[in-house]
Structures are given as C-alpha cells and as structure tokens.
Amino acid sequence: MTTNIDRFTFSTIAHAVRYALLAMAAAPLVATAADEDADVASLTQPTSSIEVGAENVSSKSAKFGEYNGLNKSGAAFIGNIDLRGGDAYQSFQGGMGTTRWQVRGTDLGTTSREIGGTVSSQGRWDLGVSYDQLRHNITDSYQTPFQGSLGGNSLTLPASFGVIDATDDGPVGSGTQGLTAGQIAAFHAVDVYTERKNTSFNAGYRLDRQWNFEFAFNHLDQSGAKLISVSMSPDALGNGAGEKTATLMNPTNYRTDTFELAANWIGERAHLRASYYASLFKDGYHSLSWSNPYIDSGGATPTGTITGNFPLNVFATTPDNSVHQLNLSGGYEFTSATRLVGGLSYSRNTQNISFIDDPLLTSALPSGSLNGLVITKHADLKLTNQTSKDLLLSAGVKYNERDNQTPSNVFDSFASIAGDPWGPVANAPVSNKKLQVELDGSYRIDKKQTLRLSYAYDDVKRWCNNALANNFQSSDVLTNVPNYYTTTACVQSPQSRENKLAANYRLKAGQGVNFTAGYSYAKRRADFNTSYYNPMQTSAEGLQNFGFVPYFDASRRDQIVKSGLNWQANDRFNLGLTGRFIDTKYDSTLGVQKGHGLALNLDAAYNYAAGGVVSAYLSGQRRQRDLLSSADKSPLVAPGNLWSNHLDEDSNTLGITAKHRGLMGGRLDLTGDLSYSLSKTTYSTQLQDPTQCTDINCGDLPVIKNEVLRLKFTGVYHVDKASKVALSGLYQKLKSDDYYYSAYQLGYTDVTVLPTNQLAPNHSVTAAGISYIYSFR
C-alpha cells in the first residue's frame, strides 16, 4: 500500500512536473512564434485607428484659417478615423476573400472635414461615398453699410442713410471722404467666406477580364459670398457721368452636378475607353441688386432729390450652364515596341438663362436670352516606337477647337463711362482652334548618357463666326478718330504659328551622381488684323493704340535653359541642385517687350540614424517683365507719350524638416517642420519724357511684401501597442505689406470709392492640440 501510494505519488507528481515542465519549456518557443506572428500580423493585417482630442487656437484670423477651418480663436475638436476590414486581408493566411471596406474621416472637428467610405469585392465591383467640406475664409476685416445677409442677393441701404455726393476728382473731404457720422455708424463688420460641400458617389463593375464599367457622381453645393466691386453709374438721380464704386458681397449660391459613365475594354493588343461626362451648373440667383446712394452734383446744389428708397442697381450673377461631353480613347499595340494611342472628344456647352431686367436699359432687348452654344472638339494621336531599347521615338498630333456658335446681336449700352458717348455695342462670340504636332526622339548614347530631341509646331486660329460681330463698328468710330481704321475685325490676331525645338541631356555619372541639362527655343509668329476693333466697346474705346499687341497674341521668341544635379552620396545623404532660366522677347511695338524668369532649388536630406532624418531645401525665384505703352490714343504715337512699366518679383523659400522615431525606448516619435517664405513684388513706371513725370504718373510703387513663417511640431508617444498620445503645435506668422488695402480705407483720396476698411491679413497665431489615438486590428 505504501508502495502503491509512493508509486502513485511519484507517478502523479512525475507526470505533473513532466507536463508542467514541458508546457513551460514550450511556452517561450510558442511566445517567440507568437511574437513572429504579431510581427507578421502587423504587416499583413490592416490597422484601424480612432483619434479624438482638442486643440486651442490663440487668436482669430481668416487668413490663418483660410482653408484649415481654424479661423476662430478658442477650442476645436480633433477627430480622425480610419477603419478598415474585410476578408481580402486574410490572403496571407490563405484566405481567398476579396471583400475590403474602409471608413475614413479627417479633420472632423473643423469646417474642413471630410468623411468617406468604400466597399469592394476586388476584381468584381466597388462602391464609394464621400462628403468633403471646405470653407474658404476670405476676410474678417471687411465692413459695409449695406444690409443683407452673407449669401443673399439683395443689399440695401436704409433711406435714412442719406446720399453721397461724389464728383470725379472731387476735393479732399467730399464724396466718400465726407461720409456723415450716421453713414459711418452704419458700417458693420462681416466675416466673408465661401463654403463648398462635395458629396460624391462612385461605383465600378467588372464584367469579365475584358470589360469593366465605372460611374461617378459629384454634387457640389456652394454657399457664402466673395467680394466684388461694382460701379454705380448713372447716379441715383439718373445723371450719367462718373464712376462711383462699392465693394459688395457677391453670393455664391451654386450647385454643380457632375456625372461620368465609362466603359473600358481591354484586349490582348488593344484597349478602349468610351465615356460620357456631364457637368450641370445652377446658380440659385439670377442677379444681385443693391442700393445706389451716389449723386453727382458736380459741386453745385443737387439738381434732384431722392424720394423714398434708393434706386436699385443690378447685375447678372453667373448664369446656369451645362456641358455634355462624349469621349473615346484607346491604344493599339502593333508590336511590343510600336504602340498607337489617341482620343476623340466632342462636347456641347449651352447657356440660355433669361436676361435680367436692368432698369437702366430703356431699349428693347434683341432677344430674351443668349441661346449660347459652344461646341468643343478634340482629337489626339500619338505613335511611339522603341524597336531598339536605346532609341525611343514618338510622333503625335493634337487638335482642339472651341467653336462658339452663340448668335451675335446689337445691344444698347448706357453712359457708364465718363465722357464716352452712348452707343450700341455687339456681343462678339469668339472661337479658336489649335493644331499641334510633336516629334520626339530619345537616344541612349551609352549606359550613362541619354539625349532627347524634340520638335513641336503649334498653329492657332481665332475668329468671330458671326458676321455681325465681325463687321460691327460704332458709327462713332470714324467720326471720333478720323483715319484711324477704315474697316474692322473683332479678332486682333487671327492666326499664329509657333515652332519649338528642345534638347535634353541626361548623364548618370556614377558614384551616385546624376546630371541633366536642357535647352529649348520657341518662336511664335502672329498675323495681325490691322483693322481690329473690339465691338464690345463704344466709340473709340474698342480700339488699341497702333502697334500695341496683347502679350498672349504677340509674336515672340522664347528660350529656356535648365539643369539639374543630384548626388546620392550614400544611403544616408542626398544633395540636389536644379535651376531654370527663361527668356522671352516679344516682337511688338507696344505691349509687353520682354520677360525673364530664374528659379534655383537646393535640396538635401540626411538620415543621421535608423529612425532619424533631417531634410532641408532652399528655393529662389525671380521674375521680371517689361511693358511699353502709350498715353496717346492716336494713330501716331508721339514719343513723348510713351511710358514703361517694369515688374520685378523675388521669392525665397526655406524649409527644414526633421523626423526622429523611436526615442525613449521606442515610445516617442517626433516631427518638426519649419518653413519660411518671403515674396516681394515691385512695379516701376517711367515716362519717356521725364519732364512730364509726377508722383501720379511715374515712379516706383511700394514693395508688395509677404513674409510667412510657419513652425509645425508633432510628438507621438506610444503608451502601448494600442494607444498613442499626440501633441501637436502649429505657429504661423504672416507679415504683409500691401498697398492694395489703402484704397479701401475711410478717408482715402478717391472720393468715389466706398471704403471697406479691409486690412492686410497680418497674423501671428498658435494652434496647439492634444489627442488620443487608439489603434486596433
């Protein structure tokens, strides 16, 4: 018995110890395997995350919060989510599922929020929905005496506001400089912004290996307002002379629905895509009306009185329009070395909104609406060949046409511009077409060197395809400016042709050094219609001075030199330098004469440790433009009337980014980002006859200077595998010197400009936040 008991005791304990030891010995092995599996899972399984927190913005600034939604001071909610799943993620474990879904939301606590979801069965179908909001904060220093909400289309002044008696070039203290205390008191601040809300849906279906179909829909809802200036003439008493202005809130009450339906076919050697695209734009308003408080007594006692409310002025807001476009594109592979791709597009753009009833127009309108129609055509074809792996050749042709088939009619204008006679004007529906031919060859000289040569030819034609617009001229033209022009045409440059040659060289010099250099030369020859007359202008206003050509029409010669050097010293250090110089000369007696541009960029990155990298860049840009013009509206420009304007712009940008992961035993990741940008624009106007020079017509304008400093910092502390705490900070300072704003200050010297008291968007704002991030699989 004892023996039995002993044997039992021994046997049982021996088994127990044996199993326990076995299990304990196996545990580390299993744990190691589990660690490996955890590593594998972290690579092959999706990680979802939810981030919640709060941030504080130190002060109010529309410019700081222009697009990021942080325009108000105080607390804001931080919310981001990224949830993923589906059996498609089981592939590494041997799963054959194809379903994948994701819900993603960013910046949920601001007016820049975005949230969307997708679900798909890969290889078969996919669906997606999203909502994207963006508030564009335009200004928080705008003031107006007009009553009416942001986004509304009626802006009125109370009858008690009183008139503003403003005469052009009136004396100091008159007009808008002489607003009464009551008028000044009527000014109130409005934060002006526009808001876009995009709601999207997309779907795809794959029928088989060759066919698939796509559908995308987007609804864009816009609200709020932008600022716009308006002229108020004739004045409130009906007197025609003078230009009185005010800056108003122009509502953006828009809806745009966009659809695209596409069918794709892919064969062994060919592929095709046929699609239908539509964009339907609707404006919730047709017009904006506002009270006109101006009278122009010319310094004498007003010749009339305003009884009751102010007369309303009105302009047409942007009209509803639609585009329907058919597209076909595809490619064919003759051989593995020779391929042809191309496309065709045809679209109809229509607009037929009823014209607004403008009380200033007393004559009957020639039509109730525009019946506008623009047909756009596009074709392109490109053949590429790489028979030898050292030589790549391509030849392409493109054609684009905008054929404006809108009818032309004659409308009565009213005397809105001082000194110009009243007269009829004709709308000029302009059309253009562009043919481009491109030849390109890239030859690999050896394993290190490649030379690419290309040639391009552009042929642009412009016309007014309506005889009325093309031949219309005011009967006043020849009367007012004898012998100026004898016939007219509504397009100044009916045709231009440009030839362009380019050469690019690439060298892989070894030791991680890559070098590129390129040069291009382009020459544009434009034909001119010496009888050009803009039919949208009355009297001599439709005429340009002899020899003057708009820069985009003008004959010109364009040269570009560019070069780049990149040195990958080792796996840790990279250095790059690129530069580009542009020289453009215009062949115009008057107009833009020449322009230059220079850009230099220096980039460096250094991986100083396994988890640490610091990178920096410096960019410098300079741009100049010279303009020659004439103050004399005459067939023969007197040299003494010539004046020039010189534009000089400098921009320098510096950026430094540092990232370090794995501090504090792998728990802390830090990222810092510093950027600094300084841009300066100057204008200088000079007269050919310096004896005529005054502060009004010549001299250097103040520098338009904008200096932006921004420091971003993020620290993420990994509490455990699932939890992180993030600290973030953003400091931004903008110092803006811009003479633009002086024009709208109360007391400004043009007595016909109603002030808004807008200020340059200077700010110094800090946003600091803390958030908790939970990650899980």
Q: Which of residues 244-273 bind other proteins (CB under 8 A)?
A: 245, 247, 252, 254, 256, 258, 264, 266, 271-273
The closest alpha carbon to 360, from 408, 305, 316, belongs to 316
CB of 601 to other proteins, least distance (A): 4
Q: What is the Cα–Cα distance from 296 to 175, expressed in whole angstroms? A: 9
Q: What is the Cα–Cα distance from 451 to 727, expressed in whole angstroms? A: 50
Q: Which of residues 59-118 bind other proteins (CB under 8 A)?
A: 66-68, 87-89, 91-98, 100, 106, 112, 114
CB of 156 to other proteins, least distance (A): 18
CB of 279 to other proteins, least distance (A): 6
Instruction: Give the one residue of 58, 495, 679, 714 binding other proteins; rule: CB under 8 A.
Output: 679
Q: Which of residues 548-607 bind other proteins (CB under 8 A)?
A: 548, 550-552, 568, 578, 580, 590-592, 599, 601, 603
- Is residue 402 a contact point for other proteins (CB under 8 A)? yes
Q: Which of residues 179-208 bind other proteins (CB under 8 A)?
A: none
Q: What is the Cα–Cα distance from 522 to 103, expressed in whole angstroms? A: 50
Identify which range of 299-307, 519-527, 744-752, 766-774 contacts other proteins by CB under 8 A.
744-752
Token reading at 541: 């206003």
Exposure class string for 596-605: b at 16+ Cβ within 10 A, else e: ebbbebebbb
Give 182's DSSP letter.
Answer: H
| Site pattern 642..661 for other proteins (x: CB under 8 A) | -x-x-x-x-x-x-x------
Identify which range of 180-188, 289-297, 398-406, 763-771 contacts other proteins by CB under 8 A.
398-406
Task: Label each residue of 3-52 as H, E or C.
Answer: HHHHHHHHHHHHHHHHHHHHHHHHHHHHHHHHHHHHHHHHHHCCCEEEEE
Identify which range of 53-61, 71-79, 179-187, 322-330 contacts other proteins by CB under 8 A.
322-330
Q: Which is nearer to other proteins, 183 or 450 (CB)?
A: 450
Identify which range of 54-62, 141-149, 290-298, 340-348 contacts other proteins by CB under 8 A.
340-348
Pairing relationship of beta strands 164-165 and 294-295 according to DSSP bridges: parallel
Identify which range of 10-18, 51-59, 299-307, 523-531 contacts other proteins by CB under 8 A.
10-18
CB of 160 to other proteins, least distance (A): 27
| Site pattern 611..640 for other proteins (x: CB under 8 A) | ------x-x-x---x-x-xxxxx-------
Q: Which of residues 710-739 bind other proteins (CB under 8 A)?
A: 734, 736, 739
Instruction: Give the one residue of 190, 236, 425, 730 binding other proteins; rule: CB under 8 A.
Output: 425
CB of 305 to other proteins, least distance (A): 25
- Is residue 221 a contact point for other proteins (CB under 8 A)? no
- Is residue 748 a contact point for other proteins (CB under 8 A)? yes
Instruction: Give the one residue of 23, 184, 189, 391 binding other proteins; rule: CB under 8 A.
Output: 23
Taking the mean position of all CA atoms in its chain, how far away is CA 761? 20
Q: Which is nearer to other proteins, 158 or 422 (CB)?
A: 422
Instruction: Give the one residue of 358, 459, 558, 648 binding other proteins; rule: CB under 8 A.
Output: 358
Identify which range of 48-56, 296-304, 538-546, 658-666 contacts other proteins by CB under 8 A.
538-546
Token reading at 519: 């040069």
Q: Which of residues 138-157 bind other proteins (CB under 8 A)?
A: none
CB of 569 to other proteins, least distance (A): 13
Q: Which is nearer to other proteins, 529 or 578 (CB)?
A: 578
Q: Which of residues 448-507 bind other proteins (CB under 8 A)?
A: 450, 452, 462, 491, 504, 506
The closest alpha carbon to 67, from 138, 132, 140, belongs to 138
Number of residues that bind other proteins (CB under 8 A): 224
Identify which range of 5-13, 155-163, 295-303, 658-666 contacts other proteins by CB under 8 A.
5-13
CB of 48 to other proteins, least distance (A): 12
Identify which range of 168-176, 292-300, 521-529, 663-671 contacts other proteins by CB under 8 A.
168-176
Q: Which is nearer to other proteins, 143 or 256 (CB)?
A: 256
Instruction: Give the one residue of 158, 475, 747, 774 binding other proteins; rule: CB under 8 A.
Output: 747
Q: Which is nearer to other proteins, 22 or 189 (CB)?
A: 22
Q: Which is nearer to other proteins, 74 or 171 (CB)?
A: 171
Q: Which is nearer to other proteins, 183 or 545 (CB)?
A: 545
The H or E element spanning position 183 is: helix 181-185
Q: Which residue has the tokens 């088994």?
A: 15
CB of 725 to other proteins, least distance (A): 20
Instruction: Give the one residue of 330, 466, 476, 500 binding other proteins; rule: CB under 8 A.
Output: 330
- Is residue 326 a contact point for other proteins (CB under 8 A)? no
| Site pattern 269..308 for other proteins (x: CB under 8 A) | --xxx-----x-x-x---x---------------------
- Is residue 137 a contact point for other proteins (CB under 8 A)? no
Determine the 3-state secondary structure of 186 from DSSP: coil
Determine contact, residues 468/408, Cβ cutoff 8 Å.
Answer: yes
Give long-range contacts, CB 8 A cutoff, 24+ apart: 102-105.
105/79, 105/80, 105/81
- Tell me: cis bond preceding 494? Omega within 30 of 0 counts: no
Identify which range of 45-53, 141-149, 150-158, 303-311 contacts other proteins by CB under 8 A.
45-53
Q: What is the Cα–Cα distance from 639 to 589, expressed in whole angstroms? A: 12
Instruction: Give the one residue of 131, 187, 355, 457 binding other proteins; rule: CB under 8 A.
Output: 355
Instruction: Compute CA distances 554 → 250, 463, 496, 548, 748, whole Å.
Output: 35, 16, 8, 9, 38
Q: What is the Cα–Cα distance from 536 to 543, expressed in whole angstroms? A: 10
Q: What is the Cα–Cα distance from 461 to 725, expressed in whole angstroms? A: 62
Instruction: Give the one residue of 378, 497, 660, 733 binding other proteins; rule: CB under 8 A.
Output: 378
CB of 512 to other proteins, least distance (A): 8
Token reading at 535: 């039919």
Determine the 3-state secondary structure of 137 from DSSP: strand
- Is residue 10 a contact point for other proteins (CB under 8 A)? no
Instruction: Compute CA distances 254 → 191, 281, 392, whole Å.
Output: 19, 7, 48
The closest alpha carbon to 50, from 97, 96, 3, 103, belongs to 103
Q: Which is nearer to other proteins, 159 or 270 (CB)?
A: 270
Token reading at 720: 């455990």
Q: What is the Cα–Cα distance from 334 to 118, expressed in whole angstroms? A: 38
Instruction: Compute CA distances 593 → 37, 84, 556, 681, whole Å.
Output: 70, 58, 9, 19
Instruction: Compute CA distances 703 → 151, 412, 619, 687, 734, whole Å.
Output: 34, 42, 20, 20, 16
Phi, psi of 178 (to 5 degrees): -110, 35
Q: What is the Cα–Cα distance from 556 to 525, expressed in whole angstroms? A: 7
Residues 6 or more apart from 223 whose CB is under 8 A from it?
Answer: 151, 194, 195, 197, 252, 253
Determine contact, residues 251/152, Cβ cutoff 8 Å.
Answer: yes
